[in-house]
A and B are shown apart, each in its own frame.
Chain A
Amino acid sequence: MPAIKLRVNGREAAAEVDERTLLSTFLREQLDLTGTHVGCDTSQCGACTVDIDGITAKSCAMFAWQADGAAITTIEGLADGDKLHPMQAAFREHHGLQCGFCTPGMVMTAVDFAKRNPDPSDDEIRHALEGNICRCTGYHFIVDAIRTGAKAMRG
């Protein structure tokens, strides 16, 4: 079994993982970070999106051993104590969720997108969400939330 060492939300983690263990499974079951959701397990829905060394990926489409040496941020790593990350606060303000299942992936994608594109158009926001599926909201409030969150992030 591969032994891996990585940083998750600023904390060191070391573990042995089965070759087959997906990064999503490792985060949820070995590190108890259940904020990373598994919606489809077939690379379609984006609920499992996490940040790996500054780049987003669907964690159900990576093996845990591929993240050896990486720095990972999950949804649990965004807030500063009780203070929500500006993108999380914007999702709350705009009610950018209903059941909330897709939300961790939406927020992770949105934070990464807003870092690269601090002042996006609605069209650009919608394109950025192509890898994230929401079966509840119809997306409008998510787009509103990301527009506001991006503004708050650029300060």
Chain B
Amino acid sequence: MYPFDVKIPTDLAAARKAFEDADDGLFLAGGQTLIPVMKQRLAMPGTVIALERISDLAGIKAGGSEITIGAMTRHAAVAADPDIAKAIPALAKLAGGIGDPQVRNRGTIGGSLANNDPAADYPAAALGLGATIITDKREIAVDQFFKGMFETALDAGEIITAVRFPMPECAAYVKLQHPATRFAMVGVMVAKVGSTVRVAVTGAAPSVFRATEMEAALTLKFEPNALDGITIAADGLNNDIHASREYRAHLIGVLARRAAQEAIS
């Protein structure tokens, strides 16, 4: 690692100021992505601004038909939260399936969404459930948030403060996990929110995306067999030592059917 300065603000205003004052500032949330990436010198911030002592960023609030999760909420806290387990069990299950216990104890929802790893789980939850990303400046509808591999709509220095999820009628997330890291080779979130059906796919392409043909079919009939005959083109999907793009295309169909089944049962 190259040398860097450290700032540990206790409120958002101070975090913003630290970013403005820094030459090359980067926020540190759970560090489960950033610290390994700094060791590899793929990230070389001049100043690391730790978010973990900003109390406004923690906590889970359930109210009405929505659940709001603070950006610094750890994966383990989402997995264990009784309100989430009741209102969006698919989200609790997804969080409980990220990485391993130690990673879940440190990694945060804000960090995962800001990072937008192509194989990460939370992007599928946010896109599949139609979440709203709340930052220190504005609210961003999830359909405008993910912009490509490791890219989001966040401006430089913009801080995710929370994520708001609508409570779905039903939802399920199924992934085929990489056996070592547990990242998604492919993961599919199927959800019915009000009368809208959303199908979000992670792991398969450079960034999470919605399978619109599947959404249309499930809107007509919310059953796994509604997806029969729909194929996903392999063109443009990820192709690596873990899985070919053809295999990933096939997996999307299989996992979407499983998720639809789990959502209705």
Contacts and interface: CB of A to CB of B under 8 A. Distances in A.
Contacts, number: 66
B6 A57 contact: no
Contact of A56 (B5, B6, B8, B101): B101
Interface residues of B, number: 25
A33 to B, nearest CB: 18
B243 interface: no
Q: Interface size for chain A: under 10, 10 to 19, 20 to 34, or 35 or more residues?
A: 20 to 34
B82 to A, nearest CB: 15
B35 interface: yes
A12 B208 CA distance: 46
B182 interface: yes
Contacts of A46: 100, 102
Interface string B28-54: 000110011001000000001010100
A20 B4 CA distance: 8
Given A19-B48, A56-B105, A131-B103, A61 B5 contact: no
Given A20-B1, A61-B36, A66-B31, A2 B103 contact: no
A87 to B, nearest CB: 15
Given A2-B6, A20-B1, A62-B106, A43 B101 contact: no
A99 B182 CA distance: 26
A41 B39 contact: yes
B214 to A, nearest CB: 30
User: 5 closest A-B pairs (Cβ-Cβ)?
Assistant: A131-B100, A130-B100, A131-B102, A20-B1, A55-B105
Interface of A: 2, 19-20, 22, 41-44, 46, 49, 55-58, 61-63, 65-66, 109, 112-113, 128, 130-132
Given A42-B36, A58-B102, 13 more contacts: A19-B48, A20-B1, A20-B4, A56-B105, A57-B102, A57-B105, A57-B106, A62-B31, A130-B99, A130-B182, A131-B102, A131-B103, A132-B100
